Structure 1
């Protein structure tokens, strides 16, 4: 199965890359639980996902993933990724992930550095933190 939707950004973007034992299931989880949007998916008839791209709907960047192939040149063991995603509606997203039974590692709370955030573990073991902290400003050159 192949789905592809052209998607553009207004500037540079960062993509988290990962592999999964059940890439199709993880894609569904990211869409249903976190709200990512599938923009490309290249899969074999047997369900193996060669490549998929999921965009974060609030800005540039997202996730690129595929089925784990230990002998591939670009291979990461499933469950070894950690990512932080900026969201404007952290309270609403938290309600969404709780309602879908996500494995909450750190409940929604305010941090000492001015963010409101929470952390979860996905079904493959990857760690995800969602919050309002958009990062420090770039230094002036």
Structure 2
């Protein structure tokens, strides 16, 4: 049985601000932009992995979510406490420069980690932690 990841979801509070980060700063391509019942989902694809869809969704995308739960999720998102994503890059420093030039909030400048990667980190416009990692050459 062969398994691959086809979709991953990132909660965002403002899709247009998120698009400025994921599409414009990171260079991901929009594959779908869907609105339904007052909510919006935008799917993006990395050029190097066109089979993978990164879906930007509201923090409480299930219409059955209670108002109290929706408020908790929105609060957690605003505090940057929901999980983000780690992108692999072949040039951590160049990626850092490109993303930093977009005005994204820098969390960590590029640095070598003891576990064998060079990485850096940013917050997207919704507060999600987004890391970029490059395998160190042996």
TM-score, normalising length: structure 2 = 0.71
2:58 to 58, 63, 67: 67
Distance 2:93 2:47 in 1: 16
Q: CA RMSD in A?
A: 2.7
Whether the 8 Å contact between 2:10 and 2:84 is mirrored in structure 1 is no
SS in 1 for 2:24: helix
Q: What residue ranges of structure 1 are gaps of 5+ in the alignment?
A: 1-10, 134-141
Tell me whether 1:25 sits opposite 2:24 in the alignment.
Answer: no
Change in CA separation of 1:112 and 1:14 when aligned onto 2, cut-off 3 Å: farther
The answer for the alignment partner of 1:54 in structure 2 is 44
Which residue of structure 2 lines up, in the alignment, with residue 130 of structure 1? 132
| CA contact 1:23–1:49 (8 Å) conserved in 2 | no
Matching residue of 1:84: 86
Gaps of 5+ in 2: none
Q: Report the CA distance shift for 1:39/1:49 in structure 2 as closer, same or farther (over 3 A).
A: farther
Establish whether residue 96 from structure 1 lines up as the match of residue 86 from structure 2: no
**Secondary structure of the structure 2 residue equivalent to 1:13:** coil
C-alpha deviation, 1:97, in angstroms = 0.9
TM-score (normalised: structure 1): 0.70
Deviation at 1:57, TM superposition (A): 2.2
Measured after TM superposition, the shift of residue 37 of structure 1 is 1.4
Distance 2:39 2:19 in 1: 10
Within a 5 Å distance, the mapping from 1:106-125 to structure 2 comes to 106-125=108-127
- Provide closer, same or farther for how the CA distance between residues 92 and 49 of structure 1 changes in structure 2, counting only shifts above 3 A: farther
- Deviation readout 1:50-85 (Å, 9 max, x if unpaired): 221111223353421223447624775434222111
